[in-house]
């Protein structure tokens, strides 16, 4: 015999799986690690400091 399938629960499971797949795709597309964020911040700070150092006062 076959088992009984609860359609409401099956739909909820399907929707959860779709949301999880979309979230994983967004995380790989837009997400950055903590190390990457820190490196970008330090690069920006270094560039700003460099620009302030070579800036002329008229």
Q: What percent of the chain has pLDDT over 90?
A: 64
In this prediction, residues 18-33 reach a mean pLDDT of 92
pLDDT value, residue 32: 87
Q: Where are the domains of the chain?
A: 13-53
pLDDT value, residue 29: 87
Full-model pTM: 0.52
Query: Is residue 1 predicted with pLDDT exceeding 80?
Result: no
Nearest one of 9, 11, 7 to 19, comparing CA atoms: 11
13: Cβ contacts below 8 Å, ≥ 6 apart: none
Query: Is residue 33 predicted with pLDDT exceeding 90?
Result: no
């Amino acid at each position: 015999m076959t088992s009984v399938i609860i359609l409401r629960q099956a739909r909820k499971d399907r929707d959860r799986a779709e949301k999880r797949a979309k979230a994983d795709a967004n995380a790989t597309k837009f997400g950055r690690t903590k190390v990457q964020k820190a490196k970008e911040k330090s690069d920006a700070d270094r560039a700003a400091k460099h620009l302030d150092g070579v800036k002329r006062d008229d």
